[in-house]
Structures are given as C-alpha cells and as structure tokens.
Structure 1
Amino acid sequence: MSRAALAVLSMLLLPGVAPAAADAPPPAFPSDGVSLYYFHATLRCQTCLRLEASIDHCVQDEFAVELAEGWLDWRALNYELTPNSALAETLQLRGSELVVIRWQDGAAVDWQPIPAVWEAPDDDGVCAALKPAVTDYLRAQLAPAGSETP
C-alpha cells in the first residue's frame, strides 16, 4: 500500500483526531474581566448539548448588556484541545463543567464551578443556578477598588 493511500485511510479511520496544537490558534482569554466557560469533551451527549443551549439562552437574555460591553465573556470550550486543556488543568476540572472565572492581568485569579446546572430540570432552572454566581463575580469585578460590594 502506498504512503498516500495509507495516509488517506488513516484519516478516514481516525476522524476524531484533533489538529496539532500548532495548527489551532490559541483562544484569546481576557486580560481582565469575568468569563463564563462551559468546558466539554470532544464527544458530547444530548444532555450536554441541551445544557449548553440552556446556558447560552440564559446568558444572552440575562447578561446582554454585560456581553455587549465586554464585561462578560461567554464561551463553550473543548477541554481536550490545547490550549483549553491548560486552562482546564489550572482550574482543576474533572470533566464537563460550567465555571465562572475572574481574570486579572491575564491570569485566572478566582473561579467557581457551578455544578447545580446539571440538576436543573429546564432552562429556567439552569438560569436560576448560574445567575447568582455570574452576578456576584461581575459585581466584584466592576466595583471600584477599595469599595465593598453588597
């Protein structure tokens, strides 16, 4: 079998192989601000896809101003791909998780997983689970230095 045929055959048999780290541009994580990241694996079940859609619906509805102003960064990230895997390791993730992160000078300085979204029965439950944590992180980030947040 020729090398070319072998290469084509291996690509057909291994369709889930991710490109090398050098081939993928690194995501631009914020220097300062708040992020809400839904970390997921390459292979995803219907529950995971529905959860991501529910999170997106809530974030777009409840935090439209914060998104538009750049105060909040919302993304779904595959934790199996570089450089997302490095961030997932820093955050000590154990699988698919929703995490709110506060960034300062390009470093994740505070973060909190929001596991309650997995038990939420519907879109409203997902929103009720994530909204308080995101709101608290935004308040802390946007409060003037030295002031106390309510």
Structure 2
Amino acid sequence: MNQGAHWRNVFTGVMLLLAGAALGAALVKIAGNGNPPSRTVAASPTAATSTTQEPAPQTIKDGVLVYLFHGNVRCPTCLAIEASTKEVLEANFAQELNSRRIIIRELNYEKPENKPYIEKYKLIAPTVVMVRIHDGEEKEFVNIMEVWQCVGDKDAFTRLISDNMQKMLQDTTG
C-alpha cells in the first residue's frame, strides 16, 4: 500500500469516528435535555430477575428492578455504563441486593421479544431504567439517560445512580 492510500484510510477512519461521536452527542442532547430524569407511573405487574442475559423469571414484591438496556452491539461506553451501574449498586446498596430488594437485569431491547420495552420505558438508546415495584406491581419508573453525560465522571455517575435509587427505595412503601 502506498503512503497516500494509507493516509486516506487513516483520514476515513478518523472521519467515521467523529461522525459516530457527533451522533452519540446528538442522542445524549436529545435524551438528556438538561431536565432531571422523568418519572412515570406504570400500572402493569412485572417479573424481575438477576443479572444475566437470559434471566429466569422471579417475582419481586417490594423493591426496585434495575434494567440495563443495551442493543445488539455494545460499545465501550455502553459497557462502562453497565459496569459502573453495577459497581455503584454493589458498593452502596449491597444489603438491598443481597435481600433481593434490588434486582439487576440486563436486557437487549433490539430483540423482537423485547420490543414492547421501547415504548413502555421510552427507550431511544442504551440506558439504565429503574422500576419501582410495590405489592408485585410496577408503580413508576425512571429512565436515566443522563448516564451518558456522567459516565466519564465517577463522582457524578455515583451520585446520579445513588440518588435515583434512594428515591425509588423510599417510594417502595406505597
């Protein structure tokens, strides 16, 4: 390969990388328009499971179900969001995880059987969704798209996940 072709390939790669970054930034701006995460009341019951790709159904009577939604392809940032979310929950809510008051579930929203989650939880990209469950029924959820803005700042990310979880746990009494 001659030197001109090499630099053309490098230039093409850099341009594709920049285009991807611009698209990601646009999604974050659209999703996280500076407002706090939206809380929405839900009325249907749910099944909750542990952190596996193909979880076995289990019920949760009172607590918080944490969905780590991802697509068919998981970029390094998506993986960092998932790992950081688990890290924050394990560090700050170990008792609730052990007692199954908090359950984490990874879910590919691009699989055909999971398409209903897109509308139900207002998904536009990989994200973290916390669902408050009381008496076995979904009461409300929060789609935390701000994880994309905080993933590079450990303290901000920890506050974001912890604050949302504290609010959800306080609300599980009714």
What is the aligned partner in structure 1 of residue 63 from structure 2?
Answer: 33
What is the aligned partner in structure 2 of residue 59 from structure 1?
Answer: 89
C-alpha contact 1:32 1:106 (8 A) present in aligned 2: yes
Give how far 1:138 is off.
0.4
Deviations 1:43-93 (A, max 9, x none): 111111111111111111011011011111122211123543333432221
Question: Matched residues, percent identical?
Answer: 32
Q: Please list, as runs of the form range in 1=range in 2, the aligned pairs for 1:1-150 lying within 5 A after superposition.
A: 27-28=57-58, 30-81=60-111, 83-120=113-150, 121-141=152-172, 143=173
Alpha carbons of structure 1 residues 124 and 75: separation in structure 2 relative to 1, 3 Å: farther
Q: Number of paired residues?
A: 120
C-alpha contact 2:131 2:141 (8 A) present in aligned 1: yes
What TM-score comes out, normalization by structure 1 length?
Answer: 0.68
Where does the alignment leave 5 or more consecutive residues of structure 2 unmatched?
1-53
What is the aligned partner in structure 1 of residue 43 from structure 2?
Answer: none
Give how far 1:32 is off.
3.8
C-alpha contact 1:35 1:72 (8 A) present in aligned 2: yes
C-alpha contact 2:60 2:101 (8 A) present in aligned 1: no
Where does the alignment leave 5 or more consecutive residues of structure 1 unmatched?
1-23, 146-150
**What is the CA RMSD across the aligned residues, in angstroms?**
2.3
C-alpha contact 1:36 1:134 (8 A) present in aligned 2: no
